[in-house]
Amino acid sequence: MRIHVTLYSEFKQFAPGGTGSFNLDLPPGADLGHCFEHLNIPENSAYTALVNGRRADRDTLLREGDTLVVFPLICGG
């Protein structure tokens, strides 16, 4: 299956070719955790992930055509 991924800030370093936006082929039934493993994003990374605009966690199943956005947690003050 193919999804579209956009990585922001320090997560861009895990993008193929260093671009923040790309298509990614994953096996059917893959979840967000599998996607992170495929991209070599460390398991202990602090992030917010959105799948099709909705907050997602590592167990969220991905489907053909999904849009995944990952960005770091932001602190304010």
Q: Exposed, middle or buried, 51 (CB in 10 Å: 0-12/13-18/19+)? A: buried
Q: Where are the alpha helices (DSSP H) in the chain?
A: 32-39
Is 2-72 a CATH 3.10.20.30 domain? yes
Q: How far is CA 58 from CA 14, 21, 38, in A?
A: 17, 20, 13
Residue 49: per-residue pLDDT: 96
Radius of gyration over every alpha carbon of the chain, rounded to an integer in angstroms: 12
pLDDT of the chain, 77 residues: tens digit per residue:
999 999 999 999 999 887 889 999 999 999 999 999 999 999 899 999 999 999 999 999 999 999 999 999 875 55
> For residue 3, which of 28, 14, 72 has the smallest C-alpha distance?
28
